[in-house]
Amino acid sequence: MKKQKKIIVVDFGGVGDLILAIPFLKGLTRAFPSVEVSVLCTERTGMILKEQPYIDRLFLSSLTMFGLLKTGLALRREKFDMAINLMPETSYFSAIKMYLLFFLINAKEWVGRDTEGRGFFYDIKVSEHEMQMENEVLMYGRIFKTLSNGDFDERLEYHISGANKKIAGAFLAKERRFKKYPLVLVNPGSDWPAKRWPIERYAELVMRLQELFPAVEFGIIGTQCEGGLAHFIKERCGERVFILSGRTPLVVLPAILKEATLLITNDSGPAHIGRAVGTPSIILAGPSESAYLTVKGKNESIVIQHHVSCSPCMMHSCKTQDCWKAISVQEVLEVTSKILERKMNEDNS
């Protein structure tokens, strides 16, 4: 590893996956300060890493075959010494696509996860017997240890630039109606419908929190496609709720979360961002593996989850939602109220 000069880390995951990769990237640059570290991500999610100081160069690509071909050929000219894929090989089809990409990049050494035997083409393989059954940061730690024979700081951390702090502050000042109230952000969405607590329960939770805390304002975050979820809550909860879904650039979202007193979210990208910027967080988890959620953040985070007979699972959607039915509004209300009351008292002291 000491002879390596240029490394490219490939991570085609979602926003949450990229946030979870930051400790690995940070560890890599600190363990090998003379190495140039580049990262290749998707166009949809990669901007979340734009201003992170642990990256020398950021490359973005579409996931179409043409996009990967174009990207691979462009990266070939960079003459990388090592290519590292942080994502699992979810199928043999995805493994073949990654093989072709690595073949095009033509790095001297290939590193990746041997997910259920599908990482056969890597020069350095890190065993993974079952996909997404362990904390991803710890999984990246095993890759790191293989390369460096050392460890890195597992705690999530996200650097927010001064410019994005100003943008977020100005944006919230424009959008908020009750600027002097503490701000609670709510994220009712997720890329997978099976990972969403029922929207009716989110609306009921916000209504009951409004009754208990008449001097708190609520902002609903999410993607543009999740705007319907935000409007569902707004229509039932009224003027102390405002909608941010689809209106905040990805690179500014961490600065928005940093401004909040509390974040209530499904197990999704914003949950990891909240932990990384130090926003106290309530994370609602349905079908996820518990070990997958044991991530260290910069502040308090509480995971609410109840396993049922069919969990954990990796279903994209689910008709029964038994794991979500096990999480009642009353339970989330009690946990949220305690944290919110304590944080408000701390801010006023």
Using a pLDDT cut of 90, give the percent of the chain over it.
73
Q: What's the whole-number mean pLDDT along residues 9-37?
A: 94
User: In the structure, what pLDDT confidence band is assigned to residue 298 with cuts at 50, 70 and 90?
Assistant: confident
Q: What is the pLDDT of residues 222-274, one digit of tens each?
A: 999 999 999 999 999 999 999 999 999 999 999 999 999 999 999 889 999 99
Q: Specify the higher pLDDT residue, 138 or 277.
A: 277
Q: What's the whole-number mean pLDDT along residues 52-58?
A: 95
Question: Chain-centre distance of CA 47, in angstroms?
Answer: 13
Q: Are 295 and 137 in contact (CB under 8 A)?
A: yes
Q: Specify the higher pLDDT residue, 284 or 317.
A: 284
**131 has a pLDDT exceeding 80:** no
Name the residue type at position 298. Answer: K
Domains along the sequence of the chain with CATH: 6-148 (3.40.50.2000), 162-348 (3.40.50.2000)
Q: What is the pLDDT of residues 84-129, one digit of tens each?
A: 999 999 899 999 999 999 999 999 999 999 999 999 999 999 998 8
Q: Are 133 and 292 in contact (CB under 8 A)?
A: yes
Phi, psi (deg, nearest 5) at residue 265: -150, 155
Which residues have C-beta within 8 Å of that of residue 129, sequence separation ≥ 6? 116
